[in-house]
Structure 1
Amino acid sequence: MKHPQSAARRRVLLAGAGLALAPLVLAATPGEQGVRASRALMGTQVDIAARGTDAALLRAASDAAFERMAALVAVMSHYSATSEVAAIGLASGLQPVAVAPELLQVLHMAQGVSRQSGGAFDATIGSLGRWQFDPQDPRMPAPEAIRARLGAVDWRQLVLDDQAGTAYLKRRGMRLDLGGIAKLYILQAGLETLRAHGVRTALVNGGGDVVAMSERGARPWRVGIRDPRVPQRLLATLDVREGFVASSGDYERFFVRGGRRWHHVLDPRTGEPTQGPHGVTLVGRELQAVNGLGAAAMVLGAREGRALVERTRGVEGLIAGADGELWASASLRARLS
């Protein structure tokens, strides 16, 4: 369904394929303190913004949140040879691997969005081999290597045993890549750590994925939505009190070769970057509803991605198509400034 809109409104909404924090004035009331902190995690910058009356508590809580997130990255990163994700790949076709409960939970989320999207999201995309999207040193598997390994991309070959606490890839040579689903879970874990330390109003932002909470009566957090073609330019804002704002797009990690943009959202059907929408923004209160859904919509394309978002309860969405066409769910369009 297309929504009529003015040309000016259309230009503003076309920002909606990526996210960045708009400038924040952290002190909302007299006597309230604001703390911001940033660290490099998951190949991006992770920012914490927190408000409260005790600055020392806010700083200590932020440090604890970063420690918690870093510990989960060590478990779930497919770049680390010592992670549990790497261990699952090394044991593929041989035996199940005991994994942390947090990783088991993320793997269940991955299977859920794979079923929901008909395989458009597939965490076994790591079986294709290592891509590197640093424009200074871009690397990609050879086309013949992609073709040879494409048969190993099959989410149904991942077996999870909750009672034993294990994960198993049934085919030898399979690998996992949780880049499309682990980050938002890790950011939420950071927010929950802040909550456990007594913080009630905070926002965690990592590379355009945002999770927020607000104490009753606190003013909302303002999240800026940016243009996927001019990422430094904010074109719209969204007020968020609780929940998630998740982005997927072809503008965050990419290189250009042969006149084509090669970006990090891979299509499990081809083994190559998607060629559909430029970006997808999703808003929801529940992690399981939004997690991985944006990458699936990128794979499915604008029309089918739109249908996926529309049939997912509790999710608002915006899709910027490759042809310049824009679609936004009515409820989200009404919230954008």
Structure 2
Amino acid sequence: MGKSIPILTVLLMLAFSIPGIAQVMMKRPMTLMGSLFDITVVAEDSALANAAIDRAETEISRIEDLISEWRPGTQVSEVNRNAGLRPVKVDREVFGLTQRAVRYAKLTGGAFDVSIAAMDRLWRYDGSMTALPDSAAIRRSVANVGYRHIVLDSIHSTIYLAKPGMKIGFGSIGKGYAADKCRELLQSGGITGGIVNASGDLAAWGAQPGGEPWAIGIRNPFKGGGMLKVLKIRTGAVATSGSYEKYAEIDGKRYSHIIDPRTGYPSSELTSVTVTGPSAEFANFLSTSIMVVGSREGRKLMKRYRQYRCLFK
């Protein structure tokens, strides 16, 4: 395995105060949703900045308590436990996220599918794999994957997984969703600038003290971590999916950790995809989907969404 290189870097100089400007910029790292979050805010003083970051941390924890498929007490875990048995009533927030996920699956013909959570873990990315999994085992691994079996009842706010053994999980869009929600929360609370960076899936708004836009560096994993591009954004989102850090190498060939839900095989053509646009959740969906469908179909997909831009590698 190669050295881990963060693909997105927020390029800023953090300081407790900016001379001549009644603002401070503060950053705090935290581990939530199984990932590293960096929350950066611009506020009038340190107390307000700290309080804002506390609110963001609480919001991310709240979302994790709703949608984690790993925590037994969440609504998503309850849905998964009742696959093939009965519909489960969920909050409108969980219902809405699931409804959007099903729409994303339809847009990509199943290349994006939150029911991939049910797939058997045949691929290992710890360096221990020396041979490809058996093709029959791969076919069996996706037997319980299929967004068409996610039954939604908007009147009663229920989710029913029609096949026993099905599961849903939001690892592919959950961090982007959390970043969007935190941005919305902090903006409504009067924080005029900041970035919620969820391990490379981020939502930004406003500007740095002094009015400079946020600078987001996209690293090149093949050239010692040099920059491919530096994005200057004020209000927007960036999401990256890639196989540059997590992969299996068998007979000299790399196999991505991003799996095609339709086949059970890893995506292979692209190494990384970065998408920019208004929403981190939607950019998350696009970057993950394009890693699966490849550059040709990815360009077709991007043409539908003119507010979003994409960089392939």
1:209 alignment partner AA: D
Partner letter of residue 253 of structure 1? Answer: K
Cα distance in 2 for residues equivalent to 1:116 and 1:83: 28
Distance 2:174 2:271 in 1: 21
Of the candidates 140, 148, 158, which is equivalent to residue 156 of structure 1?
148
> Deviation of residue 101 (structure 1)?
2.2
Cα deviation, 1:250-307, whole Å, max 9, x if unaligned, reads 1243344554434331101221321121111111114564341111111111111111
Label 1:283 to 1:52 Cα distance change in 2 as closer, same or farther (>3 A).
Answer: same
Q: Is the partner of 2:55 in helix, strand or coil?
A: helix
CA distance in 2, matches of 1:311, 1:201: 30
Cα deviation for residue 48 of structure 1 reads 0.7
- Residue in 1 that maps onto 2:193: 201
> What displacement does 1:124 show?
0.8
- 5+ long unaligned stretches in structure 2: 1-5
Task: Give 1:53 deviation, angstroms.
Answer: 1.2
* Distance of aligned partners of 1:156 and 1:313 in 2 relative to their CA distance in 1, 3 Å threshold: farther
Specify the alignment match of 1:246 in structure 2: 239
1:177-188 to 2 correspondence within 5 Å? Answer: 177-188=169-180
Q: Does 1:284 align with 2:277?
A: yes
Q: Which residue of 2 aligns with 1:224?
A: 217
Task: State whether residues 125 and 271 of structure 1, in contact with CA within 8 Å, keep that contact through their aligned partners in structure 2.
Answer: no
Confirm or deny: 8 A CA contact 1:47 1:206 kept in the other structure: yes
- After TM superposition, give the deviation of residue 230 of structure 1 in Å: 5.1
Contact kept, 8 Å, 1:114 with 1:121, in 2: the verdict is: yes
Give, in whole Å, the separation in 2 of the partners of 1:76 and 1:231.
Answer: 36
Structure 2 equivalent of residue 83 of structure 1: 74
Name which of 11, 30, 40 aligns with 1:22: 11
C-alpha contact (below 8 Å) 2:8/2:200 kept by paired residues? yes
User: 1:170-195: CA deviations, max 9, x gaps?
Assistant: 11111112111111001112222222
Aligned partners of 1:307 and 1:126: how far apart in 2?
Answer: 27
Aligned to 1:210: 202
Could you tell me which of 79, 96, 113 is aligned with 1:105? Answer: 96
Report the secondary structure of 2:241's partner residue: strand
Q: Report how many aligned residue pairs link the two structures.
A: 303
Alpha-carbon shift at residue 156 of structure 1 (Å): 1.2
> Which residue in the other structure is 1:191 paired with?
183
Q: What amino acid is the match of 2:104?
A: V
Following the alignment from structure 1 to structure 2, what is the Cα–Cα distance between the partners of residues 241 and 65?
19
Q: In structure 2, do the counterparts of structure 1 residues 253 and 33 end up closer, same or farther at CA, with 3 Å as the change threshold?
A: same
* SS class of match (1:168): strand
Q: How far has the Cα of 1:43 moved from its partner?
A: 2.5
Q: Please tell me whether the aligned partners of residues 228 and 249 of structure 1 are also in contact (alpha carbons under 8 angstroms).
A: no
Residue 115 of structure 1, CA deviation = 1.4
User: TM-score normalized by structure 2?
Assistant: 0.87
Aligned mates of 2:160, 2:201 — CA distance in 1? 29
- Does 1:307 find its partner at 2:296? no
- The answer on whether the counterparts of 2:204 and 2:237 sit within 8 Å (CA) in structure 1 is yes
SS in 1 for 2:143: helix
Shift of 1:231: 7.1
Unaligned runs of 5+ in 1: 1-16, 321-337
Is it true that 1:68 corresponds to 2:59 in the alignment?
yes
What's 2:3 paired with? none
